[in-house]
Amino acid sequence: MTRARISITIPESLLEAADRKAKELDRSRSWVISDALRNTLVEASAESVAGKPANQVGEPVRVYSPRSIEGLGPYRLDQLKADLALTPTERVRAAEKTGRVGSLREGKSYGNRIITFDRFEDYLDWCEKERTRPR
């Protein structure tokens, strides 16, 4: 997702409140403000669907809510709960296993990929495996 830098003017008390919330959630100020805007747009979208007047936005509004798990069936929800119960190391290993199965099944690599690590040590372990992996 591409990002854009903007400049806004808000009351100082609101900025302080956003900073407190960011610290409480261990997130950036930008994330807190973006999340508030996203939730406002979701509410506006829901109001327009319900027949109430909604705020006008110059572009289509995607219905998104990070707190929502709508659309997940019971099996996907159970899988999500099981995955979240794993430790970060177990999650990385499961993802590696899934990646190996996918590339074996297709007979080719998927090319570009994004890999994240919860700890720097996990990254170092991954680097070591990549060096010793047969090509």
**In this predicted model, what pLDDT tens digit does every residue of 35-76 receive, in sequence order?**
888 888 877 666 665 555 555 555 555 554 544 455 667 777
Q: What is the mean pLDDT of the chain?
A: 75
CA distance 97 to 4: 36
Instruction: Give the pLDDT confidence of 11-27 residue by residue, as tens digits.
Output: 899 999 999 988 888 88
Q: What is the pLDDT of residue 135?
A: 45
Average pLDDT for 76-105: 79
CA distance 92 to 127: 13
Q: What is the pLDDT of residue 16?
A: 92
Q: Give the CA-trace dihedral at 110, 112, 117, 120, to 10 degrees.
A: 120
Domain ranges of the chain: 10-68, 74-132
Is residue 119 a contact partner of residue 88, using CB atoms and an 8 Å limit?
A: yes
CA distance 37 to 18: 12
- Kindly report the pTM of this predicted structure: 0.36
Average pLDDT for 1-8: 83
Token representation of residue 126:
């991954």
